[in-house]
Amino acid sequence: MNVTQTEGLLGMIAVIGILGLLVLPAVIGIVHDKIIDRQISRAQREEVTQTKETKETRRPSRPRGHHGAARPV
């Protein structure tokens, strides 16, 4: 390997390293957003499940009167 090839290799490694340093924060941000989206989705599913369970275990309410209004036929 001569001097020109070595300089070319070092330059290519430097460019790839700088590119990695520039891209790394973006990749970390994307991964962080995906994790938060999964947590939000899981919390919403749990909330819906708890709401359904609460409705099923609650006593049925009495039918409401019409307060003097005519009953529908």
More confident: 54 or 9: 9
pLDDT 10s digits, 39-60: 999 999 998 888 877 777 666 5
Question: Where would I find the H helices in the chain?
Answer: 3-57
In whole angstroms, give the CA distance from residue 66 to residue 38. Answer: 46
Q: How far apart are the first and last CA of the chain?
A: 98
Lowest-confidence region among 22-26, 29-33, 53-57, 62-66: 62-66
For 29, 36, 42, 58, the CA distances from 20, given in Å and listed in that order, are 14, 24, 33, 57
Largest Cα–Cα distance of the chain, in whole Å?
Answer: 102
Tell me what pLDDT residue 49 has. 84
Mean pLDDT of the chain: 86
